[in-house]
Structure 1
């Protein structure tokens, strides 16, 4: 087990705004999962994943239940997942994952954020080849036999296992697998009674980029602006 490369996270806007944004993103994730696989987490692995993330984020139970109810009934929002690609300041590649009910509005907002913060919105395929879509699970290391766990999970699609940190600098164990093996690794953890701190599908940069602090902050300013948009779910880049 080694150290896993992780990209920097933007932390510029206020905590309460971040929490509100996180709950909005999780509500959309719930809606998308329910629309695709139904409202029962027992038979919907995607929904189980999102509900686990919601619990880890301390999302209020009434908000979770309301999101499931809205997605299950008639007239619930239908979100389209759209991926935008572009370059930030100093040529840093950026992927913007959105969930939107109005693509015209979303692409205009994303383009504006790029243009106003030293970047350029590109075309499909312009930077996507620099990333690999992978399943990423984060675990609390307490009480885990990491050597045995790594060996056992290889049969469930585990490709990488290493140390990472949470938002507050706390130690975490990060597991990564191919996008197509996400369900296998999720099932392997469930069989062992291990509940991840989070389980996500992420775009992992193949080559990290090092920039001076002032230039890195310019990139993170764009990332921060993108993340504040209500239609944006996640932003990925290769800034070390």
Structure 2
């Protein structure tokens, strides 16, 4: 299935690792805050918080940062964060889904719209992209966490539907309602995952190359750099040779 997170194709192209690390911590902190506000401060009773905290630990987010995010989400003056999904089309007709957590809808809408406009794309109506996609659960582990056979066996035992390898990661997928037991079952065997969350996937992958591919990746980079954006999904099909050329 196509419809990967932005990390699938462009993570290796990113510079400024310290800046990216800080951005990652900020986005995980926001997810922790949102999870606490919706489901409380106990990760054992709040699957969304359990997954967010695991993601933080997996990228060595300091314990103090995680605790501050929990406290901020559960306090009397907790920041109100709205979950918003934007859908649009990039160069070459590539579908793009942008998921955000924001305390200012107008700011976020303007920034997302500008990113599309600057890079040959345009925002669409609600469900203009997602009507041909579906949302599933996904758990990712570094390839070094286990052999392919061991990960597959554990995934099946935990109730997952599939287990594949993408680059340097094991990717376990399942139905949305199975994500909590699947992720918790894998944590018991392999420790914290690189990520465990709901993702958008589609069977429709659109080939793209040349200037369109380059502009599309610039669009995804720009969206990913926005503080309010949590995840970006797109359904381009870029060959390995083209990716190598673009990475130069």
TM-score by length of 2: 0.85
44, 48, 61: which is aligned to 2:63?
61
In 2, Cα distance between equivalents of 1:15 and 1:148: 32
User: 1:108-119 counterparts in 2 under 5 A?
Assistant: 108-119=110-121
166, 173, 180: which is aligned to 2:170?
173
Gaps of 5+ in 2: 238-248
SS at match of 1:75: coil
1:24 pairs with 2:26: yes
Q: CA deviation at 1:14?
A: 2.2
Which residue in the other structure is 2:222 paired with?
A: 225
SS at match of 2:185: helix
CA 1:23–1:143 in 2, change beyond 3 Å: closer, same or farther? closer
Verify the 8 A CA contact 1:4 1:164 in the aligned structure 2: no
Verify the 8 A CA contact 1:132 1:206 in the aligned structure 2: no
TM-score by length of 1: 0.87
Which residue in the other structure is 1:9 paired with?
A: 10
In 2, Cα distance between equivalents of 1:8 and 1:149: 23
User: 1:95-174 counterparts in 2 under 5 A?
Assistant: 95-142=97-144, 144=146, 146-147=148-149, 149-151=151-153, 153-154=155-156, 156-165=158-167, 171-174=168-171
Q: How many residues align?
A: 233
Verify the 8 A CA contact 1:35 1:71 in the aligned structure 2: yes
1:189 pairs with 2:190: no
Q: CA deviation at 1:93?
A: 0.5
70, 73, 82: which is aligned to 1:71?
73
Verify the 8 A CA contact 2:3 2:233 in the aligned structure 1: no
Q: CA deviation at 1:114?
A: 0.9
Q: CA deviation at 1:100?
A: 0.8
User: 1:210-221 counterparts in 2 under 5 A?
Assistant: 210-221=207-218
Gaps of 5+ in 1: 166-170
Deviations 1:91-123 (A, max 9, x none): 110000000111122112111111121100000
Verify the 8 A CA contact 1:97 1:233 in the aligned structure 2: yes
In 2, Cα distance between equivalents of 1:210 and 1:225: 21
Q: CA deviation at 1:36?
A: 1.3
Verify the 8 A CA contact 2:88 2:95 in the aligned structure 1: yes
